Homo-oligomer: A and B are copies of this chain.
Amino acid sequence: MAEADRQENGSGHRSLAGRFLATRSLSLDLIARLSDADATIQSMEDASPAKWHLAHTTWFFETFLLRDGLRDYRLFDAEWPFLFNSYYEAEGERIARCSRGLLSRPSLDEVLAYRAHVDAAMEPLLGDPAHAGLVALGIAHEQQHQELLLADIKHALFQNPLGPAMWPAHTTAPAPAPDGGWDEYPGGMAMIGHAGTEFAFDNEGPRHRVLLEPFGLARSLVTNCEWEAFIADGGYCEPRHWLSDGWAWVCREGISAPLYWREDRQFTHSGWRERDPHAPATHISYYEADAFAAWAGARLPTEFEWEALAQGGDPREGNQLDRAAPPMPAGGGGYFGDCWQWTRSTYLPFPRFRAARGAVGEYNGKFMSGQFALRGASCATVRGHSRASYRNFFYPHQRWQFTGLRLAKDL
């Protein structure tokens, strides 16, 4: 990664307006190789069309900044909020999630015009401190959708028997063999949650004390060849490694490998490619991560354990997204990058957590049941987006994101 890139997307070194423009621009770069049709299809209810991501992130700025904050602003199209509201009940009715993939209209070009319109209208607000919080939220929101967009389009292209590539393959050095060592933590009181004045999501606080027992965390993520050993040892056939819900999922869905694996290859944004043995294993569910850890005689860390050790790392290092290029786990270390890491903690409110008032209060709090916390960052996370206190979350069966695992053990 060039220093220039790092400054492009980082959160700390640029003005809010600059970060707004960089973020809006990256979205356009990400979809530059997609056709209108590519940007329209939706492969499952969990995923959304690329075009929808482009429009929804724009709707966010239009709704919470322009409509609510700019006198005399008129909506680009009064019917579009019905299409591009995601889940904000306070913002009214909206199209069923599973129908997002039927919106051939508006076209990609019309959505791009919508983006340009909103970007222009945003200009007077970008320097106004009264709006800085919501703008920062909107930027972080769009960065999340950039990662979702990459995961969703990968899933959509994977459905196509032709195995189309979104980007050409570019040669990469093989991942180095993983460091087999453990980072250790002696136990005691840890401060968990976001500190400081920079932007963070509401779910990262309040900062609070947590008591930890002594533990170790693997320095490296579990790799493809380690996962192959799990398969070869009958890992997917032996119920004793699995949580009960996980085993039911394996049997019901006929799961026998990570998503996107087929023989020695895996599907990527560059089509079908050979797997790199030492690259981190990815596209695994919580159930798989937990079963692997059980098979390996280890366990998953709690999100508190993870954060306590990760506070010593640099969240801007590691294999993260710097530009529009195929994201691929590459190995080589650090707590941030390559894959999100499943923790054994469910995604629940921290003590004294309160969601914000109004529609924005629906951002995080209402999802606090049934999901597990993931920590770190992935190769599809915009560099600068994540941090030690950052809490990602998915349901335990989901695995279309770049998800992997780092083992933990008691000391």
- Is A90 an interface position by the 8 A CB rule? yes
Contacting pair A245 B40 (CB below 8 A): no
Query: Residue A286 at the B interface, CB < 8 A?
Result: yes
Oligomeric state, in number of copies? Answer: 4
Q: Which residues of the partner chain B approach A157 to less than 8 Å between Cβ atoms?
A: 104-105
- With beta carbons under 8 angstroms apart, the residue of B211, B286, B344 that contacts A348 is B344
Question: A344-B348, A369-B396 given as contacts; is B242 within 8 A of A82 (CB)?
Answer: no
With contacts A35-B36, A37-B108 known, what are 4 further pairs, Cβ within 8 A? A37-B39, A38-B105, A102-B160, A286-B369
A366 at the interface (CB under 8 A from B): yes
Q: How far is the CA of A37 from the CA of B105 in the complex (A)?
A: 8
Chain B residues closer than 8 Å to A244, beta-carbon distance: 87, 366-367, 369
* Chain B residues within an 8 Å CB radius of A209: 211
A39: chain B residues at CB < 8 Å are 37
Q: Is the CB of A43 within 8 A of B102?
A: yes
Contact: B243 with A160, CB < 8 Å?
A: no
Interface positions of A (Cβ within 8 A of B): 35-41, 43, 79, 82-83, 87, 89-90, 95, 99, 101-108, 156-157, 159-162, 164, 189, 208-211, 213, 239-240, 242-247, 286-287, 290, 344-346, 348-349, 351-352, 362, 366-370, 372, 396, 410
Cα A410 to Cα B330 in complex, Å, equals 45
**Alpha-carbon distance between A242 and B89 when the two chains are bound, in angstroms:** 11
Verify A351–B410 contact, CB threshold 8 A.
Answer: yes
Q: Are B37 and A243 in contact, with the CB atoms below 8 A?
A: no
Contact assessment for B243 and A367 in the assembled complex, using a CB-CB cutoff below 8 Å: yes
- Provide the residues of chain B in CB contact with A240, threshold 8 Å: 89-90, 362
B156 adjacent to A104 (CB under 8 Å)? yes
A-B contact pairs, 11 of them (CB 8 A): A37-B39, A37-B108, A83-B161, A101-B101, A102-B159, A102-B160, A104-B157, A106-B162, A210-B211, A344-B348, A346-B348
Contact partner, A164, options B105, B160, B344, Cβ 8 Å: B105
Q: Would you call B102 and A156 a contact (CB within 8 A)?
A: yes
Interface contact A40-B211, CB-CB below 8 Å: no
**Residues from chain B with Cβ under 8 Å of A346 in the complex:** 346, 348
Chain B residues, Cβ within 8 Å of A103:
160
Let me know if A41 and B102 touch, CB within 8 A: yes
Chain B, residue nearest A287 (CB): B369
Are A40 and B43 touching (Cβ within 8 A)?
no
> Hey, which chain B residues are within 8 Å of A352, CB to CB?
213, 410
**Residue from A189, A211, A367, A369 with most neighbouring chain B CB atoms (10 Å):** A369
Please indicate the chain B residues that have their CB under 8 angstroms from the CB of A345 in the complex. 348
The 8 A-B pairs at the shortest CB distance, nearest first, are namely A89-B239, A37-B104, A37-B40, A346-B346, A38-B104, A102-B159, A36-B37, A244-B366
Question: Contact check: which of B38, B43, B95, B208 meets A161 at CB < 8 Å?
Answer: B95
Q: How many Å from the CB of A252 to the closest CB on chain B? A: 12
User: What distance in Å separates the Cβ of A308 from its nearest Cβ neighbour in chain B?
Assistant: 13
Q: Is the CB–CB distance between A162 and B105 below 8 Å?
A: yes
Do residues A161 and B79 form an inter-chain contact, with CB atoms below 8 A?
yes
Q: Give chain B nearest CB distance to A400 CB in angstroms.
A: 14
Chain B: minimal CB distance from A40 (Å): 4
Q: Given A79-B162, A344-B349 in contact, is the A243-B369 Cβ separation under 8 Å?
A: yes
A396 to B101, CA, bound (A): 28
Contact between B37 and A160 (Cβ–Cβ < 8 Å)? no
Give the complex CA separation of A348 and B290 in angstroms: 12
Query: Which residues from chain B contact A287 at a C-beta distance below 8 Å?
Result: 369
**With A and B bound together, what is the CA distance between A159 and B82 in angstroms?**
13
Residues of chain B lying within 8 A (CB to CB) of residue A43: 102
Question: Whole-angstrom distance from the CB of A348 to the nearest CB of chain B?
Answer: 6
Given A159-B99, A160-B103, A213 contacting B37 (CB threshold 8 A): no
Most chain B C-beta atoms within 10 Å of own C-beta, residue among A106, A108, A161? A161
